[in-house]
């Protein structure tokens, strides 16, 4: 869900939460306040209690109303509730907080001019988000219906590739010429519309190049006739329109900014990205990384049909299926060894699972470290050697344990030792693979998160089992 | 790392980044700007080029200087570089951006009065963070050395349990009595120190209860004599001091706030949490969840010693070891079946891996959904039945595939069918377990993220293998 771009306004004008709220204070224990609210909305919808519904919606924050709509199961109920939100302002805000499916559902029967009307007061990034969800023909129709100035801006924004700074920025911000005086700036602020962000005032030269920044409070502490260029801070942290949104989020997080200006290659100021959008990017990227490592897509989360969900997950499972069949083929190759000493079989799950687990620990550490910037490419060798040493230690501990188990269980010292040594080798291989893969992927520009996925795990299984069975076969024929 | 609490100030006064920066614009391709910088710092440190180092540090943002210090490998170099940061203001800010280990290392030889001096201009949440890292005796000594007012405040903050709103809030904020006029407020703003946040002005009644909020811009658009109570928005979204930081982050994200006020049970305003701290919380919680599912702790990420890392990961691996030995024991139980039809062994890796994978997909979806609030406890049954249906469909597809493989590979139709049916059953069991576990854990107040961990995977392996071998044994004895 895309947030609205008016943090100040949304708290000040639209917040309807009482200060004291006993349920909200313990939101994690059993039924939450939201659950109770959802249930009463569902009941009222079934009874068709329009007056009650309208009244309840009127008291709610648009973000809460949107959340209720997202969690209703029938498109018809979603539509009904959406239409009961009063005023195109709040209705537009609710719209901007919905997920893609719900937007399509609630707008299914709404004519283009009415949609254009709903969007008129929204920030440009919210409009861009909603337009991106609607069918191409409809969004073009809406664009032509909007005021020319707005629609050109939106059309420009729609051109930026997904997940770049350009695609999440808003064009509503306050930028003033460097010769403007403090007094004029204050007057300009008093006339500013709600859509404009006023935590920072950006200062530009005559060619609209970004040259400085100042805070509202700085404005209040200087004589009225001071030009902005005398009070502004000339060094501004900015990002370019084509920067990846994940990198933008890292910059905003690192420097604790409320908003970051977006510039073209020639440093022309074209937009800003506010921290509330960055919060969403961080959550989205973390979700994406977690899902990716389990072979699930973001699309899957939203799919309400299990057929669609199954189709999305199947490719990943098939990859795994063939990987594990390969492990099976290796077992088949060593079938005579297995038949001879069937106790060998008992350690196959151990070898297969443990190598994968140790690898997963290393790769998770590194993938997350790279994503958050805690680990840089410069640290790679340090981390690599640490992980190898850790793998060695873990292999020694688990290997010793298994040698004892093998001895005690099957009364076969040789088997225990083979298992122990195989595990140690498997650990060394899997920690090195798990450490190198994400880094290699990052260097070639692929998201390292996929490395926690099936390929590494399957490769670990196969190597582990091969090492184990080769060693046991070799030892068996030596003993004979 | 804890951010500083002065987003406005840190951009305006401390930002030293040029607007145009070709390297920063392509940060993901090969050696990053940071890597190059780190290398040159290391070289200069080895050469003891104090003048150069001081000059470079002087041009840097405290957050960047802190990052260099964190990535240096020797504690001695960290200390040297930290001591070269000029002025206690910037040095305090660098300190607040370091991780726990680095803080202890750079302050190792610094006497308590000097530390107290470094902390004097920091926001209270940063001081709380640093104090929490230092040994108890030292932090008490520092507290007594600080100004009484500040130290009482910090001592109060240190009392709040980790990860609650109270532990991450700052006590520097602007709150004014409801009868204050707009003009007085502006005058008050002009005198405000940097440590105070000025995106929102909080309004309290005579008992210091939070009663309203207003933005700076609202202040500029009213006659000077208007009292705050006439222009404030009376409904404020706030959180209680004991709310979990994860829930605080969800509130700030949902309502797109820049800061959220923190109140006691009787709605006395005691602090605020700013969005930059929320950004850190969101990243930390996501990291924690990812690591948890791989059996790695946050502590492990920071451990530079591989012995410590191995010790931290060992308990999880041992759990897995015993789980997979249990699978091995089941194989041993069915050893005569295996010896009789050795082809059965070839499908064991498939059964073991696939059940776990399908379960991981379901549990990851649900755990992340619960963490971000996309899935609420109210949706649980809907999600449960969708996952079961998805599991059924995936089981049918993979089962059919395996039946064919069994037939083609070992020319044994019965084996193929047994594998297919076992897989289907394994899928149904693991999707239901994976769906129910996180929800049950959440209801009893345990973090659902642990459910993606070893227990569910191991349980899936054991069930899958048991079902498979029981079915094949039964069918074998029936065929005889």
- Gap between the Cα atoms of B187 and B191, Å rounded: 7
Interval A174-202: pLDDT, tens:
889 999 999 898 888 877 765 455 678 89
What pLDDT, in 10s, does the model give residues B124-164?
A: 888 888 988 888 888 888 888 887 667 777 888 888 888 89
Closest by Cβ to A296, choosing from B12, B365, B378: B365
- Ramachandran sector of residue B295 (left: φ over 0; alpha: ψ -120 to 50; beta: rest): left
- Please judge whether B30 and A213 are an interchain contact, meaning their C-beta atoms are less than 8 angstroms apart: no
With CB atoms and an 8 Å threshold, state whether B320 touches A357: yes
- How many CA atoms are closer than 13 Å to the CA of A453, on its beta-carbon side? 25
User: Quick check: A11 and B236 CB within 8 A?
Assistant: yes
Instruction: Sort out which chain A residues have CB atoms less than 8 A from B216's CB and list them.
Output: 198, 216-217
Considering only alpha carbons, which residue of chain A is nearest residue B165?
A25
Length of chain B: 480
Q: What's the confidence (pLDDT) of residue B166?
A: 92
Residue A383 has what pLDDT?
Answer: 83
The answer to whether the CB atoms of A372 and B221 lie below 8 A apart is: no
Q: Quickly state the pLDDT bin for B214 (edges 50, 70, 90).
A: confident
User: pLDDT digit string (tens) for B447-462?
Assistant: 777 666 666 777 888 8
Nearest to A15 among B3, B237, B325 (CB): B237
Q: What is the mean pLDDT of residues B69-86?
A: 90
pLDDT, residue A333, reads: 92
Strands A269-274, A239-240: parallel, antiparallel or unpaired by DSSP?
unpaired
Task: Indicate if the pLDDT at residue B18 is higher than 50.
Answer: no
B328 to chain A: which residues are within 8 Å by CB? 345-350
8 Å CB contact of B325 and A405: yes
Q: Which residues of A touch B233 (CB under 8 A)?
A: 11-13, 15
Partners of residue B387 in chain A, C-beta under 8 Å: 306
Q: Which residues of A touch B320 (CB under 8 A)?
A: 353-354, 357
pLDDT given at position A53: 92
| Banded pLDDT at A80 (limits 50, 70, 90) | very high
Res. A298: pLDDT tops 50: yes
The per-residue pLDDT of chain B, averaged, comes to: 82
Nearest to A237 by CA among A260, A208, A209: A260
Question: A192, A313, A353, A358: which to substitute to probe chain B, counting the most B Cβ within 10 Å?
Answer: A353
What are residue A215's DSSP bridge partners?
A200
pLDDT of B209 higher than 90: yes
pLDDT at res. B25: 36
When pLDDT is cut at 50, 70 and 90, the band that residue B69 belongs to is very high
Per-residue pLDDT band for A454 (boundaries 50, 70, 90) equals low
pLDDT at A41 exceeding the cut of 70: yes
How far away is chain B from the Cα of A97, in angstroms, using its nearest Cα? Answer: 9
pLDDT confidence tier of residue B80, bands split at 50, 70 and 90: very high
pLDDT at res. B9: 35
pLDDT for residue B241: 94
Residues from chain B that touch A42, judged by Cβ atoms under 8 A, are none
Highest mean pLDDT among A234-243, A407-416, B346-355: A234-243
With cut-offs at 50, 70 and 90, classify the pLDDT of residue B402: confident
pLDDT, position B349? 86
- How many A×B Cβ pairs under 8 Å? 456
pLDDT at A30 over 90: no
List the domains of chain A with CATH numbers: 7-159 (1.25.60.10), 173-281 (3.10.580.10), 314-479 (1.10.357.20)
Between B7, B189, B452, which is nearest A258 by CB? B7
Instruction: Provide the whole-model pTM.
Output: 0.77
Q: Do A38 and B279 touch (CB under 8 A)?
A: no
Residue B27 has pLDDT above 60, yes or no: no
Contact at CB, B10 and A257, closer than 8 angstroms = yes
What is the pLDDT, as a whole number, of residue B203? 94
Q: Nearest Cα to B461, choosing from B313, B288, B310, B319?
A: B319
A8 vs B300: CB contact, 8 Å cut-off? Answer: no
Residue A295's closest chain B neighbor by CA? B361
A389, A412, B90 from A417: Cα distances, Å: 21, 9, 57
How near does any CA of chain A get to the CA of B176, in Å? Answer: 17
Is ipTM over 0.90? no
* Cβ neighbours of A338 in B, within 8 Å: 338, 342, 345
Share of chain A above pLDDT 90, in %: 20
Q: Which of A224-233, A467-476, B90-99, B352-361 has the lowest mean pLDDT?
A: B352-361
Which residue, among A43, A235, A284, would best test binding to B if mutated, counting the most B CBs under 10 Å from its CB? A235
Kindly report the average pLDDT of chain A as a whole number. 82
Q: Which of the four pLDDT bands, split at 50, 70 and 90, describes residue A1?
A: very low
Residue A19 confidence (pLDDT): 33
With a pLDDT cut of 70, the percent of chain A lying above it is 89
Confidence of residue B276 (pLDDT cuts 50, 70, 90): confident
pLDDT of B3 reads: 35
Residue B286 and residue A286: Cβ atoms within 8 Å? yes
Residue of B nearest to A288 (CA): B368
- Mutation to test the A interface, candidates B190, B235, B272, B300, most A Cβ within 10 Å: B235
Residue range B348-372: mean pLDDT, rounded: 84
A358-388 per-position pLDDT tens digit: 888 888 888 888 887 777 777 778 888 888 9
Q: What pLDDT, in 10s, does the model give residues A322-361?
A: 888 898 999 999 988 888 888 888 888 888 888 888 888 8
Do B320 and A31 count as a contact with CB atoms less than 8 A apart? no
User: 3-class SS at B134?
Assistant: coil
How many angstroms separate the CA of residue A421 from the nearest CA in chain B?
15
Query: Which among A190, A276, A445 has the least Cβ separation from residue B220?
Result: A190
User: H or E segment at B109?
Assistant: none
Better-predicted residue by pLDDT, B116 or A152: B116
Name which residue leads in pLDDT, B408 or B53: B53
Confidence of residue A452 (pLDDT cuts 50, 70, 90): low
State the pLDDT confidence band at B205, using cuts at 50, 70 and 90: very high
pLDDT digits over A42-77, tens only?
999 999 899 999 999 988 888 899 999 988 888 899
A336 vs chain B: nearest CA distance in angstroms?
9
> Across the interface, do B217 and A318 touch by the CB < 8 Å criterion?
no
B11 and A461 within 8 Å at the Cβ level: the answer is no
Q: What is the pLDDT of residue B270?
A: 92
Q: Report whether pLDDT(B5) > 50.
A: no
- As a whole number of angstroms, the distance between CA A260 and CA A262 comes to 7
Query: What integer pLDDT is reported at residue A450 of this predicted model?
Result: 67
**Per-residue pLDDT at B24 exceeds 70:** no
Most confident stretch, A309-318, B47-56, B398-407, B410-419: B47-56
């Amino acid at each position: 869900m895309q947030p609205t771009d008016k943090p100040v306004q949304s708290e000040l004008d639209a917040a309807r939460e009482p200060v004291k709220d006993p349920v909200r204070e313990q939101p994690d224990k059993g039924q939450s306040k939201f659950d109770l609210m959802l249930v009463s909305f569902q009941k009222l919808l079934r009874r068709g209690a329009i007056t009650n519904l309208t009244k309840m919606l009127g008291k709610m924050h648009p973000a809460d109303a949107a959340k209720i709509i997202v969690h209703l199961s029938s498109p018809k109920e979603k539509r009904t509730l959406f239409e009961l939100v009063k005023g195109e302002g709040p209705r537009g805000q609710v719209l901007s907080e919905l997920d893609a499916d719900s937007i399509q559902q609630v707008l299914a029967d709404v004519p283009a001019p009415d949609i254009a009307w709903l969007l008129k007061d929204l920030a440009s990034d919210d409009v861009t988000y909603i337009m991106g969800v609607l069918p191409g023909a409809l969004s073009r129709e809406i664009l032509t219906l909007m005021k020319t100035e707005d629609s050109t801006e939106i059309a420009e924004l729609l051109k930026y590739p997904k997940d770049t700074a350009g695609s999440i920025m808003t064009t509503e911000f306050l930028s003033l010429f460097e010769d403007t005086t403090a007094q004029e700036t204050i007057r300009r602020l008093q006339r500013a519309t709600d859509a404009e962000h006023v935590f920072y005032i950006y200062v530009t030269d005559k060619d609209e190049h970004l040259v400085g920044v100042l805070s509202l409070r700085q404005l209040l502490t200087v004589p009225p006739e001071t030009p902005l260029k005398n009070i502004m801070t000339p060094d501004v942290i900015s990002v370019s329109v084509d920067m990846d949104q994940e990198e933008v989020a890292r910059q905003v997080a690192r420097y604790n900014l409320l908003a970051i200006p977006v510039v073209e290659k020639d440093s022309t100021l074209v937009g800003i990205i506010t921290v509330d959008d960055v919060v969403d990017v961080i959550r989205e990227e973390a979700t994406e990384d977690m899902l990716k490592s389990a072979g699930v897509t973001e699309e899957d989360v939203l799919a309400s049909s299990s057929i669609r969900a199954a189709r999305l997950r199947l490719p990943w499972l098939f990859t795994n299926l063939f990987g594990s069949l390969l492990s099976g083929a290796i077992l088949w190759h060593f079938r005579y060894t297995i038949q001879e000493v069937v106790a060998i079989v008992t350690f196959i799950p151990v070898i297969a699972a443990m190598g994968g687990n140790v690898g997963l620990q290393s790769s998770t550490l590194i993938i997350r470290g790279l994503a958050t910037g805690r680990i840089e490419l410069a640290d790679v060798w340090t981390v690599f050697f640490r992980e190898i040493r850790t793998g060695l230690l873990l292999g020694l501990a688990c290997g010793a344990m298994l040698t004892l188990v093998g001895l005690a269980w099957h009364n076969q010292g040789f088997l225990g030792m083979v298992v122990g040594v195989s595990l140690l080798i498997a650990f060394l291989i899997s920690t090195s693979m798990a450490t190198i893969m994400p880094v290699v992927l990052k260097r070639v520009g692929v998201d390292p998160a996929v490395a926690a996925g099936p390929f590494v795990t399957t490769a670990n299984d196969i190597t582990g089992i091969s090492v184990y069975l080769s060693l046991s076969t070799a030892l068996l024929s030596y003993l004979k």
